[in-house]
């Protein structure tokens, strides 16, 4: 841990404290009611910042902070302070006064604020429940003028300010369309957080598809698909700013008394300026079975095309009335295989679609395959989708939508057909060896001798020795090219959720140290080579699996523990920084 890195952290902390002081001033200006304890904590953070600045000044002067342990202690304090300041910032922004001020600013009287007493009166004390979920319960009610409403009461313990604000901001004048549900107003009080919508008499599309509530004819379902597409096209191209819904699914499509669909639940919505090509996600959004592949990547760059993918999955669901959660007989993959063989009519027959609707069903299948393209750039925009469904433009033959290694089970391993293709058949032994040689070259590029990284400084030499001494306690298991590198066997694809999250956590920990990482993704074209490497090293396939300088460090649990106690930073000493050039002897 050098002084330069400490300076960068202190600069970041200083910026966060400045923002926190501005927030403090706003809270004080509004009276600060109920925020006394928070204000005290803010003052403590301001004082601690000054103390850490003094400690860093000693380091620059060559004082006691030239010892490695002192620098480690300061780094630990900086990390803890950053976490505290982030928490205080979140708490301050979540205060009742702060949210009320934001709501007043963005809604401009539409939607309107309602009181808890209003909701009790309109719902007859919440006596008629019409829906429920992880968010809370939905109750049927009636305005004094007789207009029916649906009141979504949010769970207090799970209340999320960002989600609540996204819903109100998006529907509060930002967007208005015949295929978007109308938000009449909201309630934001200490003991009640709720949203008040226009009541939809025929429930959700999900219930229509799976509970056969109204026995709708397929012709009507095709019309519903067109209207949903029109609503999405409006969000993407018809508003002042582009709105990405992020959670298009059958449960978020409500049907009014004439079965006209209305998109709802904008709690995950993201606004995007039209001169921007993407937004960055700071947390995972969407629903399994609908969310686009790119949405599961950490710090993903997301465009409006993620909604197009979700709409494609919804079309498959309308066609087959089957869930699109990945399993052994994933329906979108079945449709593609039949289409590729010229047997799409078999799928349509299996879905009990009658003769007069089969032309529309063929169009819907092809549009779904276009929308469900794995790579976002290949997906059409929603305005084009509307025209294709309305038969205003022809639907061209879609390209193969899924990668060759695409999942066929919940572990997201390659199908047996693909594995045999990769290891036998068309690849052949020579092709496999060629890929293995390419892999070795890729590994050597980041490989640098530890001796060349040691500084002549005695302090740095001590740290290098300490790192090597601790490393000796770990099993010597060295992947190709890993003698002086950090190699992480992982995946960026979502399969078993726990494994996916563990891989992300280990990746974030390593990236926080600013080092160069050789990442070997088990679900790429190199997957068979990497799996074999793990079997040779560990006797099994395990992800995540971290190797540092030819030693096996462990999985997610071990890496997290070593990081918390500060040992990981010592182990990583001498590893090139991310972005540094390395010299390789070939």
pLDDT along the chain (586 residues), means of 10: 68 74 68 68 80 74 62 80 79 57 50 88 92 78 91 77 69 76 85 88 89 80 96 87 85 92 72 48 63 69 87 94 70 92 92 92 96 89 95 93 57 34 36 35 32 37 67 84 85 71 89 86 71 88 90 91 81 76 36
The pLDDT of residue 111: 74
Provide the pLDDT for residue 445. Answer: 28
Point out which residues pair with 347 in neighbouring strands. none
Close Cβ partners of 195 (under 8 Å, ≥ 6 residues apart)? 151, 152, 154, 164, 167, 168, 183, 185, 186, 187
Tokens for 110?
A: 């539409």
Q: How far is CA 326 from CA 252, 291, 298, 321, in A?
A: 20, 12, 21, 15
Q: Is the pTM of this model over 0.85?
A: no
What is the set of active-site residues? Answer: 247
Residues 521 and 499: beta-carbon distance below 8 Å: no
Contacts of range 557-564, beta carbons closer than 8 Å, 24 or more positions apart: 559/505, 559/506, 559/509, 559/510, 560/505, 560/506, 560/509, 563/509
CA 24/CA 43 separation, integer angstroms: 9
The Cα–Cα gap between 316 and 307 comes to: 14
Question: Which structure tokens are listed for 82?
Answer: 């950053």
Q: Does residue 111 have a cis peptide bond before it, meaning omega lies within 30 degrees of 0? A: yes
Q: For residue 61, give both structure tokens.
A: 């002067």
Q: Does domain 427-571 have CATH number 3.40.30.10?
A: yes
Cβ atoms 287, 369 nearer than 8 A = no
Q: What is the pLDDT of residue 221?
A: 94
CA distance 311 to 250: 9
pLDDT given for residue 361 in this prediction:
95
Same topology, domains 99-198 and 205-389? Answer is no
For the chain, the first-to-last Cα distance in angstroms comes to 31
- The residue written with tokens 């919440």 in the block is 126
What pLDDT shows up at residue 369?
Answer: 96
Phi, psi of 358, rounded to the nearest 5 degrees = -70, -30
Which contacts (CB < 8 Å, 24+ apart) does range 30-35 have?
A: 30/97, 30/101, 31/97, 33/97, 34/95, 34/96, 35/92, 35/95, 35/97
Task: Say if residues 347 and 264 touch (Cβ distance below 8 Å).
Answer: no
Token pair 């957080």: residue = 193
pLDDT score recorded for residue 317? 93
Torsion of CA 253, 255, 261, 262, to 10 degrees: -60
State the pLDDT at residue 447: 34
Burial class (CB in 10 A: 0-12, 13-18, 19+), 40: exposed
> Does 152 show up as a binding residue in the annotation?
yes
* Measured CA angle at 266 (ends 170, 104), to 5 deg: 40
Q: How far apart are CA 556 and CA 323, in angstroms?
A: 32
- Ordered by start, the domain boundaries in the chain are 3-93, 99-198, 205-389, 427-571
The class of domain 205-389 in CATH terms is mainly alpha
Instruction: Pick left, alpha or beta for residue 428 (phi over 0 → left; psi -120 to 50 → alpha; otherwise beta).
Output: left
CATH topology of domain 99-198: Phosphorylase Kinase; domain 1 (3.30.200)
């Amino acid at each position: 841990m050098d002084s330069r890195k400490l300076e960068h952290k202190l600069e970041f902390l200083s910026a966060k404290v400045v923002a926190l002081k501005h927030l403090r001033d706003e809270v004080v200006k509004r009276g600060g009611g109920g925020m006394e304890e928070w204000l005290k904590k803010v003052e403590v953070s301001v004082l601690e910042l000054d103390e850490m600045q003094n400690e860093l000044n000693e380091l620059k002067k060559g004082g006691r902070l030239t010892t490695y342990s002192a620098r480690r202690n300061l780094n630990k304090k900086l990390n803890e302070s950053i976490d505290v300041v982030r928490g205080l910032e979140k708490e301050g922004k979540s205060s009742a006064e702060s949210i009320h001020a934001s709501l007043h600013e963005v809604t401009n009287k539409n939607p309107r604020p309602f009181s808890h007493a209003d909701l009790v009166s309109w719902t007859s004390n919440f006596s008629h429940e019409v829906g429920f979920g992880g968010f809370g319960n939905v109750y049927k009610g009636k305005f004094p003028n007789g207009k029916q409403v649906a009141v979504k009461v949010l769970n207090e313990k799970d209340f999320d300010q960002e989600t609540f604000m996204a819903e109100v901001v998006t529907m509060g004048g930002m967007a208005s369309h015949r295929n978007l549900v109308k938000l009449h107003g909201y309630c934001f009080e200490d003991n009640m957080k709720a949203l008040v919508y226009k009541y939809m008499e025929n429930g959700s599309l999900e219930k229509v598809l799976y509970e056969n509530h109204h026995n709708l004819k397929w012709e009507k379902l095709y019309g519903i698909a067109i209207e949903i597409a029109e609503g999405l096209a409006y969000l993407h191209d018809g508003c002042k700013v582009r709105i990405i819904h992020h959670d298009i699914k059958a449960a978020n499509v409500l049907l009014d008394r004439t079965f006209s669909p209305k998109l709802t639940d904008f709690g995950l919505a993201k606004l995007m300026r039209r001169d921007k090509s993407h937004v960055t996600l700071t947390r995972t959004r969407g629903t399994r079975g609908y969310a686009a592949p790119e949405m599961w990547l950490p710090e993903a760059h997301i465009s409006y095309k993620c909604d197009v993918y979700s709409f494609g999955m919804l079309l498959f669901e309308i066609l087959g009335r089957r869930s699109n959660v990945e399993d052994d007989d994933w329906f979108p993959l079945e449709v593609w295989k039949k289409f590729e063989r010229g047997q799409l009519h078999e799928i349509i027959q299996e879905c009990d679609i009658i003769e007069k609707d089969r032309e529309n069903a063929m169009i819907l299948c092809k549009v779904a395959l276009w929308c469900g393209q794995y790579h976002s750039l290949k997906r059409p925009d929603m305005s084009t989708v509307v025209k294709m469904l309305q038969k205003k433009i022809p639907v061209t033959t879609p390209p193969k939508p899924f990668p060759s290694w695409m999942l066929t089970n919940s572990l997201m391993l390659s199908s047996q057909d693909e594995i045999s293709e990769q290891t036998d058949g068309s690849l052949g032994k020579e092709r496999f060896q060629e890929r293995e040689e390419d892999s070795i070259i890729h590994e050597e590029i980041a490989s640098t001798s530890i001796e060349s990284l040691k500084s002549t400084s005695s302090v740095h030499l001590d740290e290098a020795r300490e790192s090597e001494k601790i490393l000796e306690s770990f099993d010597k298991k060295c992947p190709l090219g890993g003698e002086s590198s950090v190699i992480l066997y992982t995946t960026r694809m979502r399969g078993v959720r726990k494994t996916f999250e563990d891989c992300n956590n280990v990746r974030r920990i390593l990236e926080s140290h600013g080092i160069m990482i050789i990442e070997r993704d088990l679900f790429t074209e190199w997957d068979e080579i990497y799996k074999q490497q793990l079997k040779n090293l560990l006797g099994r396939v395990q992800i995540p699996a971290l190797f540092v300088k030819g030693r096996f460090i462990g999985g997610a649990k071990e890496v997290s523990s070593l990081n918390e106690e500060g040992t990981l930073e010592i182990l990583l000493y001498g590893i090139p920084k991310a972005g540094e050039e390395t010299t390789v002897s070939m």
